[in-house]
Amino acid sequence: MKMKKNQSENKLLNHFNLFKTPYIIALSFLAWFILLLLLATVGQTPPYKPMAIEIGSFAVAWYAIFIMTGIVFALILAIREAQFININKSHLIDGTMYAVVLSIIGARLYYVIFDPNKGNYKTIIDVFNIPAGGLAIHGAVITAIVFVIIYARIKKMNVFALSDLLAPGFLMGQIVGRWGNFMNQEAHGGPIKEGTYNVLKNIIPNFILENMNIDGVYYHPTFLYEGLWNLLGFIIILIVRRKRLLKLGDLIGYYLIWYGLGRGLLIEPFRTDPLYIGPWRVNIVFSIGLFALGGISYLIVKNILKRDLPYYLDVVNENKAKLENET
């Protein structure tokens, strides 16, 4: 009995030593995220102030802080993983800076193009008036993917390996960034029925539900639903990329399928701020048609035309062995 206990303790110790750095990173992320939420909400009663800093005409919104936190978290994870899949860290950091700027522009243009209230954009200044509100994650994702393809060619990087870093990065950025919507009381669903509210109040923390009380009406916190869906997808990606299941370049396809289905079928139908293409909700059309079906098509075509690509895990193990030999 004692021997089995010692073996179990040794396994746990070996596991921790093997994954010590990821655990430290994860706990650091969690601690910082909790600190941000406390700073944003403690000592206040809902609705919470959307501005984190206000000094005269200078202001910084919590939305921006949560978005940038998600980007930084995603970059830290990508930098750590880059060494295992032959991605140049300097190119990765430089590319991220360009990608963030271009993706913000892409997110804004997507929103403006499909915003049913066209009268809001009388000048080019109105189009790029981001502080006034109006960004769409679909535009950011499309822009980032196009940029990665072009950037990888320019820098002579493996586009499949680079896109594998993009997939978990998207999910991490969206998980944290959605809390900016929470602070702005936006990206919510329709009114919550009384029976549903009685169920949700036993599941969802009170500070979240109360901030979704807008003018006396409780609304579905779809930002939270989407965040939890993305968190589940993020965990799955972290697990499967350490299994011999996926080939290089597969992760971005699975991200598109996961996010497309979740956003198109589970989240977007609840949202009260739809964008339109003709009579259809564009985010539902693009989530299912462009993202989910596009991800499936990509995986099928890629694995037919690029059958010789190695398994992601084999690349990781090979580079880990090289790093261990160098040290």
Q: Is the pLDDT of residue 323 over 60?
A: yes
Alpha-helix residue ranges (DSSP H) falling in the chain = 2-18, 20-41, 62-82, 89-114, 124-127, 137-154, 159-184, 194-200, 206-211, 222-240, 250-261, 282-285, 293-305, 312-326
Angle between the 222-240 and 250-261 helix axes, to the nearest 10 degrees? Answer: 160
Residue-wise pLDDT for 2-54, tens only, equals 555 555 556 666 655 656 777 788 889 999 999 999 999 999 999 999 999 99
Average pLDDT, the chain: 91
Taking the CA atoms of 144, 76, 39 and 179 in sequence, report the sign of the dihedral they define.
positive
Peptide bond into 47 cis (omega under 30): yes
CA 52 to chain centroid, in Å, comes to: 22
Q: Which residue has the higher pLDDT, 126 or 101?
A: 101
8-state DSSP, 277: E
Do the Cβ atoms of 99 and 71 come closer than 8 Å? no
Residue-wise pLDDT for 255-296, tens only, equals 999 999 999 999 999 898 889 988 899 999 999 999 999 999
Residue-wise pLDDT for 213-272, tens only, equals 999 999 999 999 999 999 999 999 999 999 999 999 999 999 999 999 999 999 999 898
Binned at pLDDT 50, 70 and 90, residue 325 comes out as confident
Do the Cβ atoms of 256 and 298 come closer than 8 Å? yes
8-state DSSP, 203: T
Domain ranges for the chain:
63-326
What pLDDT is attached to residue 287?
Answer: 96
b/e per residue 191-222 (b: at least 16 CB within 10 A): ebeeeeeeebeeeeeebbbebbeeeeebbbbb
Distances from the Cα of 152 to the Cα of 22, 84, 148, 160, 220, angstroms = 27, 17, 6, 9, 40
